[in-house]
Amino acid sequence: MALRFRKSVTLAPGIRMNFSRGGLSWSLGPRGASVGIGKRGTYLNAGLPGTGLSFRQRLDSGSSASGRSSVSRGEQAPIGVTVGVEDDGTLTFRDSLGNVLSSELVAATKRQQGESLRDLMQQRCDEINAQIEALGTLHLHSPRPTDRPSYRPIPFEAPQPNQPTPKRPSWLRRLFGGAAEVEQENARAEAAYREACGRWTREKEAHQAAEQTRQHLMRQAVGGNIHAMEVFLETALSDIAWPRETLVSFELQEGGVRLVFDVDLPEIEDMPTKTAVVPQRGYKLSVKDLSATKLQQLYAGHVHSISFRLIAEAFALLPTVEVVVLSAYTQRVDPSTGHDADQYLLSVRVQRSQWGFINFGALESIDVIDALDRFDLRRAMTKQGAFKAIEPF
C-alpha cells in the first residue's frame, strides 16, 4: 500500500523567504528590523510598526548602490515550502502553488531546515517499517485465558447545552421601538436551547439504554447463552485493528463448548514489500525491496499471529468454550482449472487446558510459529515460510 507523506516546512524563527520581481531573497530577523540577502546585495531594513513605512539601506560594499537608502510601503509576501517524501525515498520541494523549487532554493532549505527534513525522513521511514512490524505483532496484544470480560461503562461525554442569557434592549432601541426585535431574538434563542436540551436528553437516554444492553449481553455471553456469545465475540473481533483485511467466520458447537473459526486470510500479494532506513548523510531515504524469502517469512509470521490472537480472544471472552478449532485459508489459482480456489494453509485444534501453559506475561519472547506446534496442528510449510495446501480439521 503506497503512502505519501507531505509536510509544510516553516523556516527558522526570524527567517523569511521572499519572492519579488528582482528574484529570491532571504530576510533575517524579526519584522520591523531585518537584514535582507538577495542577488542585488545585502540590505538593512527598518520599519515603523503600524505605519507601513520601512527604511532600507545597503550594507555590503557594492559600488553601484553604496550608501543608498529608500522608503517604501508594504513588504514582500513570504513563500511557504512544501516538502514531500516519494515512494522511492526522494525528497521533493515545492512552493505554495505546487511549483518545483529551484536548486538554489532547495539547497537553502536544506541548510536552514536540515534537522526538520531529517525528522520528516525518519517519520516516513517509521511509517514504512511500521506496516511490516504490525503484521507479526498482532499476537502480542492477546488476552490471558484467565481474563474474564468485565463490564466497564462508557460515559456519555456530550456536554449539556448552556442556557442563553437574555439580551436587554439598549435605551436607543427602547426609545425608537426596537425592543420587540430583541425580545424576538431572545425567544428564538430560548427555543433553540429547549430543542438542543431535548436532543441532548434523547441522546443520553439512548446511550444509557445501549449501555444496559451491552452489560446484559456480556453477562449472558459469560453465562453461556449461545446467541449472546456470538454477538459478543463478533463485536469484540470487529474492534481489533487488523493490519490487513481479514475475514473471520465462526460457529459455536456442542452447546457453546466448542468454537470453530474459518479465517479468510489476506493474500501474500497484499503484504508490504519495502523497508526503509534513514541514511546518516544526504537527504534521500534508503528504500529497499524485500527479497522473496523475506516476504514469505513475513507472510508466515502474519498468518500465525492472526491465528494465535483469535484463539486467545476466544478463550478469554467465552469462558464456556473448552475447544477452539481454527482453519485458515487463502485464494490461489487451481492449476487444474485456472480459477481461484480456496486453499487451507493451516488448521489447529486447541484445548483450553493446553492453552493455559503459555506464558502470557512474556509474549515478546514467544516465536508465534513454534507456539502453534504445541497443539494438534496441520501445516505444510518450508523453513523459508512457503505454504502448501493442507486438509483442515
For residue 8, pLDDT over 70 is answered with: no
Contact (CB, 8 A) for 306 and 135: no
Contact (CB, 8 A) for 371 and 338: no
Contact (CB, 8 A) for 178 and 187: no
The more confidently predicted of residues 202 and 180 is: 202
Phi-psi region of 174 (alpha: psi -120 to 50; beta: other; left: phi over 0): alpha
Q: State the first-to-last Cα distance of the chain, in angstroms, to the nearest integer.
A: 34
pLDDT confidence tier of residue 61, bands split at 50, 70 and 90: low
pLDDT confidence tier of residue 169, bands split at 50, 70 and 90: confident
For residue 71, pLDDT over 90 is answered with: no
Looking at residues 137-157, what average pLDDT do you find? Answer: 91
Q: Determine the 3-state secondary structure of 27 from DSSP.
A: strand
User: In 52-175, which ranges are continuous DSSP H helix?
Assistant: 103-112, 114-135, 171-175
Q: In 3D, which of 94, 96, 91 has the Cα closest to residue 80? A: 96
For residue 171, pLDDT over 90 is answered with: no
User: C-alpha grid cell for residue 123?
Assistant: 517519520
pLDDT tens digits, one per residue of 306-327: 999 999 999 999 999 999 999 9
pLDDT confidence tier of residue 33, bands split at 50, 70 and 90: very low
Least confident of 44-53, 114-123, 302-311: 44-53
User: C-alpha grid cell for residue 130?
Assistant: 511500521
Task: Indicate the average pLDDT of the chain.
Answer: 82
Strands 323-333, 258-264: pairing is parallel
pLDDT confidence tier of residue 41, bands split at 50, 70 and 90: low
Axis-axis angle for helices 226-238, 179-223 (nearest 10): 120
User: In the chain, which ranges are continuous DSSP H helix?
Assistant: 103-112, 114-135, 171-175, 179-223, 226-238, 292-317, 352-355, 368-371
> What is the reported pTM?
0.70
Least confident of 77-86, 110-119, 148-157, 369-378: 77-86
pLDDT tens digits, one per residue of 215-260: 999 999 999 999 999 999 999 999 999 999 999 999 999 999 999 9
Q: What are phi and psi of 70, to 5 degrees?
A: -150, 160
pLDDT tens digits, one per residue of 327-338: 999 998 877 788
- The domain spans of the chain are 5-112, 224-388
> What type of residue is 233?
L
pLDDT of residue 79: 58
* Angstrom distance (rounded) from CA 390 to CA 372: 16
Q: Residue 229 CB: number of other CB atoms within 10 A?
A: 25
Q: What are phi and psi of 326, to 5 degrees?
A: -125, 130
For residue 45, pLDDT over 90 is answered with: no
pLDDT of residue 63: 44
